[in-house]
Amino acid sequence: MAQDAPTAVELLEAVRAYLHEDALPALDGRAAFHARVAANVVAIVAREITLGPEADRSERARLLLLLSLPASDARSFSELNALLAQRIRAGLLDDRRDELVAHLRATVRDKLRIANPTHLGTT
């Protein structure tokens, strides 16, 4: 549900900034490490809120297309990915290798955009 400003993402960004700019410089050792981890977690949650819904929609659409399932299919991501793995093992997608590789690359890119965009060379 939409709320008044600040948004959840803005609040998370404020916490991340506080941890990086105020808390970390005043800490050392174990406490600094934990503050750095906390700042990273806050940043991941903010990216999940911002990027997660579209990443999920895109992945679901690609999975349904690869698996030749209707858009109305209600299976979970776990079930769809298990079915994909089963079909890969059975060789049922061998003739659609390029499509499969494109799906896997897009899925990994979306996951990295959320978990750690520095691995993509972006921030």
pLDDT tens, 43-57? 999 999 999 999 999
> Is the per-residue pLDDT at 3 higher than 70?
no
Task: Count the neighbouring beta carbons within 10 Å of the beta carbon of residue 43.
Answer: 21
- Distance, in Å, from the CA atom of 39 to the CA atom of 13, rounded to the nearest integer, reads 9
pLDDT tens, 73-102? 999 999 999 999 999 999 999 999 999 999
Residue 5 is predicted with a pLDDT of 84
Q: 59 or 123, which is more confident? A: 59
pLDDT band at 23 (very low <50, low <70, confident <90, very high): very high
Task: Count the neighbouring beta carbons within 10 Å of the beta carbon of residue 60.
Answer: 17
Burial of 24 (0-12, 13-18, 19+ CB in 10 A): middle
- Share the mean pLDDT of the chain: 94
